[in-house]
Chain A
Amino acid sequence: MNPQASLILKLAAFVALACVPLTGESFYVEMIAKMLVMAIFAMSLDLLVGFTGLVSLGHAAYFGIAAYAAALLSPKYEAANLWVVFPAAVGLSALAAFVIGLFVLRTKGIYFIMVTLAFAQMAYFVFHDTPVGGGSDGIYLNVKPSAAIGGWEPFDLSNADHQYYFILAILLLVYLFLWRVLQSPFGRVLVGIKSNEHRMQSMGYFTFRYKLGAFTLAGALGGVAGFLYAVLFGFVTPELLSWHESGNVLLMVILGGMGNLVGAVVGAFAFEGMRGVFEGWTSHWQLLMGGVIVAVVLFLPGGLSSLPGRLRRALQGDEAK
C-alpha cells in the first residue's frame, strides 16, 4: 500500500472511531472504549516483542500495577486529581518495570519468556495474597478522577462520552509517541537489537541499557492502559495481572502482525471482537479461541496479518492458470 493511501485509511479509521459516541449506544461506546484501552496495551507490548525482539509473557503486571495504583491512590469517596494520580500510576508501573527489568534482562530466549512470566506471577501474588489491594476480591475505584485544573474542568470522566474521547486521545498520543520514538536514534538501536543483538554489542552498544529503557517504557505505557482500564470500569482485581492477560495481549500483538503499531491496534480489536462473538455463541468461548490460535499457528505461520498477501498470491495463481 502506498503511504498516501495508508494515511487516508488511518485517518478514516480514526474518524470512524471518533464517531462512535454519536450513535448514542452506551453499550457500544463502552465496548469500543475497552478495545481502545487494549489497543494501547498491545502497542506497549509491541515495542518489546515486535521492535526489540523481547518476548515478554508477563506484561499484564504493569497494566495491573497502574490499575491498582489508580484505585489505591484515589480517596475512597471523592475524586482524585487526574493530573496527579495518572502520572503517579504510570510512574509506579515504570518503576516496577525498571526493577524487574534489571533481573529479567539478564536472561535470553526461553529463559526470558519464563522469567517474565514468573515475575508477573509474583506481582499477582502481591495483590492476591496480601491485604494491599483487597486480596482476591479486588478493589473499587468509587469516584472517577477529576480533570479540574484550578477552577476549570476541561472534561468530565464520569460522562461516558468525555471518557471515550479522553481514551481515544490518549491512544492517539501513545501511537504518535511510539511512532516518533521508533525513528529516534534510541528506536533504531532497538530495531537493531531485535535483528542482531550480538552485532550491536560488537559495534559498541551497551544493549542492556537500551533493552532496560525499552522494558521500562513499555511498562509505563502498559501502565497508561491499566490506569485507563481502572477508570473505565471502576473496579480492579488481581486477575488483571494474571498470566492469561499477559497471554491475551501477546496474542493481540501477534494477530495484528508484530512490529507494526497499527497492527497492534487492529490485533486488539480483532481479539476483543472475536471474544465478543464467541462469547455470544457459547459460554465455552475459550475452546473456540484456543482452537483458532492453534489453527493459526499450524496453518498460517505468518499470523493473521499474512492473510491478505496469501489470498492475493492464491488469486494470482488462479488467474495464471
Chain B
Amino acid sequence: MDFATFLIQTLNALQYGLLLFLVASGLTLVFGIMGIINLAHGSFYMIGAYLAFVLTSATGSLVLAIVLGIPLALLFGAFLEWALFSHLYKRDHLEQVLLTYGLILVFEELRSLLVGNDVHGVAIPAFLDASIRLTEVMSYPVYRLAISVVCIVLAVALYFVIQRTRLGMMIRAGNDDRTMVEALGININMIYRVVFALGVALAALAGMLAAPISSVFPNMGGQVLIISFVIVVIGGIGSVWGALVAALIVGFADTFGKVLLPEIAGMVVYLVMAVVLLWRPEGILKKG
C-alpha cells in the first residue's frame, strides 16, 4: 500500500468510525443510564437517512434538511420515550428485546409504505461538492472530511455536556447510582427523556450525514445496529469514551480489513470483538 492509499484509507476509517460513534454513543447511554437494550436504535439511523432524502427533495438542500431534521428527531425521540420506552424500565431484557424488535418491523414497514422500497441518492450540498488533491493521481472528497469535522465537533460538545454541565452531572450520577439522583430531588424521568431524545437525534443525524455517501435503502438500519452493538461490547456498556475508542477501532478494522483481507472483510470487525471478549469481557474501558 503506497502512502497516498494509506492516507485515503485512514481518512475513510476515521470518517466511518466517527459516524458510527454518533450512533453508538446514544445506544450506550441508553443502555448505561436506563438499562434498556434497544434493538430499534438502528432504525433511527435509517429514519434519519430517509428524512434527509425526503427533506432534501422538498427543500433542495441537505443542510436545510438537517436543520429541520434534528428537531424532528428530538421530538420523535421524546415522544417514543413517553409513549413506549418509559414503560420498559422495570421490565426484563427479554421484553425490551421483544418490544424493540416489534418496533423495527413497524418502522421498516412504515418506511416501505411512505417512501417505497427503492434505493435513493441524496445530493451533496454544492459548497461541499469538491475534492482535495492529495497526490497527482489521487484526491479526497471534501464532503467526507466535513462529516469527520462535524462528528469531532459533536464529540467535543458531548464531552463538555457530560463533564461540565448540570445535565451531564446528572447523566454521570444516573449512570452510577439512580437512587442517589432521586434522593437529590432530580427529576429522573426528565433526564431519561432528554437522554433518549438525544440518542435518537444523534443516530438520525448520523443517518442524514451518511445519506449522500451510502444512499438510502431498505434495512439500512439493521447493519448499523449490529455494528453499534459490537462497538458497545468492545467499549463497555455506558461508557461514551469507550464507545469513541471502540468506534474508531471498528472503523479502522473494517476499512483496512476491506483493503488488506478482502476475502473475510465482513468478519474482521467480529473477530476484533471476539479478541476483546477473551481479553476483557466487560469492554476495554470498563472500570474495575
**A→B interface (CB under 8 Å):** 49, 55, 57, 103-104, 106-107, 109-111, 113-115, 117-119, 121-122, 125-126, 128-130, 243, 247, 250-251, 254, 258, 284, 286-287, 289-294, 296-298, 301
**A-B pairs with beta carbons under 8 Å apart, 17 shown:** A49-B94, A106-B278, A110-B93, A114-B233, A117-B229, A118-B226, A122-B270, A122-B271, A125-B266, A129-B264, A284-B112, A284-B113, A287-B109, A290-B105, A293-B101, A297-B91, A297-B98
Q: For the complex, give the distance between the alpha carbons of A247 and B267 in Å.
A: 21
Chain B residues within 8 Å of chain A by Cβ, number: 45
Which residues of B sit under 8 angstroms from A250, Cβ to Cβ? Answer: 97-98, 101
**Alpha-carbon distance A250/B39, docked complex (angstroms):** 14
Q: Please judge, given known A-B contacts A49-B94, A121-B226, A297-B95, whether A290 and B104 are in contact too, CB under 8 Å.
A: yes
Q: Is B263 an interface residue, CB under 8 A from the partner?
A: yes
Question: Quick one: which of B35-62 are within 8 Å of A by CB?
Answer: 35, 37, 39
Q: CB of B102 within 8 A of chain A?
A: yes
Instruction: Give residues of chain B (218-264) contacting chain A, Cβ–Cβ below 8 Å.
Output: 222, 226, 229-230, 232-233, 237, 263-264
Inter-chain contact B94/A254, CB cutoff 8 Å: yes
B98 A287 Cβ-Cβ under 8 A: no
By the criterion CB–CB under 8 Å, are B277 and A287 in contact? no
**Complex: chain B residue closest to A110, CB-CB:** B37
A103-B278, A286-B105, A290-B104 known; A115+B98 contact, CB < 8 A: no
B82 sits at the interface (CB 8 A): no
The minimal Cβ–Cβ distance linking A296 to chain B, given in whole angstroms, is 8
* Chain A residues, Cβ within 8 Å of B277: 103-104, 106-107, 115
Q: Which residues of A contact B113 (CB under 8 A)?
A: 284, 287
Nearest CB of chain A from residue B97's CB, rounded to whole Å: 6
Task: Kindly identify which residue among A55, A107, A126, A286 contacts B94, using a CB–CB cutoff of 8 Å.
Answer: A55
The residue on B at minimum CB distance from A112 is B93
* CB nearest neighbor in B for A122: B270
Report whether A294 and B99 are in contact in the complex, using a CB–CB cutoff of 8 Å. Answer: yes
Chain A residues contacting B102 (CB-CB under 8 Å) are 289-294, 297
Kindly name the residue among A110, A251, A258, A296 whose own CB sees the greatest number of chain B CB atoms within 10 A. Answer: A110
Complex-state Cα separation, A104 to B113, whole angstroms: 38
Asked if B146 is at the interface (CB within 8 A of a chain A CB), the reply is no
Minimal Cβ-Cβ distance residue in A for B95: A297
Q: List 6 tightest A-B contacts by C-beta distance, closest first.
A: A293-B102, A290-B105, A125-B266, A287-B109, A290-B106, A122-B270
Query: Known contacts A111-B233, A251-B98, A290-B105; can you find 12 more A-B pairs with CB under 8 A?
Result: A106-B278, A107-B277, A113-B97, A114-B233, A117-B229, A118-B230, A125-B266, A284-B113, A289-B105, A292-B102, A294-B106, A298-B99
Q: How far is the CB of B260 from chain A (nearest CB, A)?
A: 15
CB distance from A302 to the nearest CB of B (A): 10
Query: Are A119 and B270 in contact (CB-based, < 8 A)?
Result: yes
B105 touching A293, Cβ below 8 Å: yes
Contact of A294 among B84, B112, B237 (CB under 8 A): B84
User: Taking chain A's interface residues, is the majority helix, strand, or loop, or is none over half, making it mixed?
Assistant: helix
B31 within 8 A of partner (CB): yes
Instruction: List residues of chain B with CB within 8 A of the CB of A55.
Output: 93-94, 97
> Are A290 and B103 closer than 8 Å at their CB atoms?
yes
Closest CB-CB distance, B83 to chain A, in whole Å? 9
Query: Across the interface, do B112 and A122 meet the contact criterion of CB distance under 8 Å?
Result: no
Whether A251 contacts B101 by the Cβ 8 Å rule is: yes
Question: Cα distance A115–B275 when bound, in Å?
Answer: 12
Q: How far is the CA of A250 from the CA of B96 in the complex (A)?
A: 12
B109 & A57 in contact (Cβ 8 Å cutoff): no
- Pairwise interchain contact B232-A114, C-beta atoms closer than 8 A: yes
- Give every chain B residue within 8 A of A286 (Cβ-Cβ): 105-106, 108-109
Contact assessment for B106 and A287 in the assembled complex, using a CB-CB cutoff below 8 Å: yes
User: Cβ of B237 and Cβ of A254 under 8 Å apart?
Assistant: no
Known A55-B94, A118-B230; judge A110-B104 contact (CB<8 A): no
Complex CA distance for A251 and B101, rounded to whole angstroms = 9
Give the distance to chain B from A265, nearest Cβ to Cβ, in Å.
19
A57–B233 touching, CB < 8 Å: no
> Are B229 and A114 neighbours in the complex by a CB distance under 8 Å?
yes
User: B87 contacts the other chain (Cβ, under 8 Å)?
Assistant: yes
**Is A298 a contact partner of B109 (Cβ separation < 8 A)?**
no
Give the docked Cα–Cα distance between A247 and B281 (Å): 24
Interfacial chain A residues near B103, Cβ < 8 Å: 290, 294
Which chain A residue lies CB-closest to B232?
Answer: A114
Task: Judge whether A128 and B233 touch: CB under 8 Å.
Answer: no
- Rounded to whole angstroms, the CA-CA distance of A111 and B267 in the bound complex is 19
| Residues from chain B with Cβ under 8 Å of A103 in the complex | 274, 277-278
CA of A119 to CA of B271, assembled, Å: 9
Q: Which residue of A lies closest to B277 (CB)?
A: A103
Instruction: Please indicate the chain B residues that have their CB under 8 angstroms from the CB of A114 in the complex.
Output: 37, 229-230, 232-233
Question: Taking CB as reference atom, which chain B residue is nearest A126?
Answer: B267
- Using Cβ atoms and an 8 Å threshold, which residues of chain B touch A110? 31, 35, 37, 93, 237
